[in-house]
Amino acid sequence: MLDCRTDNNTGYEAEWHGEKDVLCTLSTGGRPMVLARQVKLPAGKPKLSLLVSSHPQGKWKLQVRVNGDELIDLIEYGKTVNAEVRFIEYMDVGGATRWSPARVVSRREMLDQLAGHYGPIQPVVEDSSAPADRFTLPDGTVFGIISSTTDPFCRNCDRSRLTADGVWYLCLYAARGIDLRGAVRRGASVDELKELISAGWRGRDDRGAEARLAMDDRRGFVPLNSLRQDPHLEMHTRGG
């Protein structure tokens, strides 16, 4: 791949400067460009050979991603234990310090892979504030996908989280929470606690996932140093 065009004419070239099979791209003014291609490999242990070159002044990174290879296995396991399986997109929260958009298996990718194996998939039409969208396989099996990374549901979210040490978070992406334990230890009455919780919820305007989706340069949400300083920023401490 080469940042080789000056005429706004990008695309594949069978030959370019002595090299064969070249994909020419435009400069993006310093913003990263992601080029991706999905390849289906035959069963067994096939060998995938890749040859990649770049301009000496370019900054290119090759990532080979193997994802979603257990979706069908999980669906089949769910059938054996009479469980409705839930999949969730990889989220850029808490300790996901190596998160990147390229590492996310989207809802669309999941549905495409499952449909390729099982056949047409139908959405379950229902009025629900649950985070998962539910779907039905041709044999009647129902499963869900939580697509909080590529298709956030902030406007319908009615979830909050209370940590083991009494901090109440109104959003998984919230940097700060409300200290309920402190209020209890100060001797707050039941009515005072009710008002504290009610006021917090009424004032809730969190749209963490939507705000993240709108970002131009999206990367891991919390740097590693910040996680060490405040364990509450870890997703698992919030019950997520």
Nearest to 221 by CA among 232, 210, 212: 212
Spell out the domain ranges in the chain: 1-35, 67-240
| Amino acid, single-letter form, for residue 22 | V
What are the residues whose beta carbons fall under 8 Å from the beta carbon of 107, sequence distance 6 or more? 89, 133, 145, 147, 150, 151
Amino acid identity of residue 188, one-letter, is A
Whether 28 has a pLDDT exceeding 80, the answer reads no
- Phi, psi dihedrals of residue 201, rounded to the nearest 5°: -70, -40
**Which pLDDT band holds residue 141 (cuts at 50, 70, 90)?**
very high
Confidence of residue 43 (pLDDT cuts 50, 70, 90): low
- Measured CA to CA, the distance from residue 87 to residue 107 in angstroms comes to 9
Nearest-angstrom CA–CA distance, 130 and 151: 14
pTM greater than 0.75:
no
Over 50: is that where the pLDDT of 30 sits?
A: no
Spatial distance between the Cα atoms of 106 and 28, rounded to a whole number of angstroms = 25
At CA 210, angle to CA 145 and CA 240, rounded to 5?
50
The CATH class that applies to domain 67-240 reads alpha beta
Q: How far is CA 216 from CA 26, 33, 36, 121, 219, in A?
A: 18, 11, 18, 32, 10
Where is pLDDT greater, at 147 or 12?
A: 147
Q: Which residue has tokens 């044999």?
A: 139
What is the structure's pLDDT at 144? 96
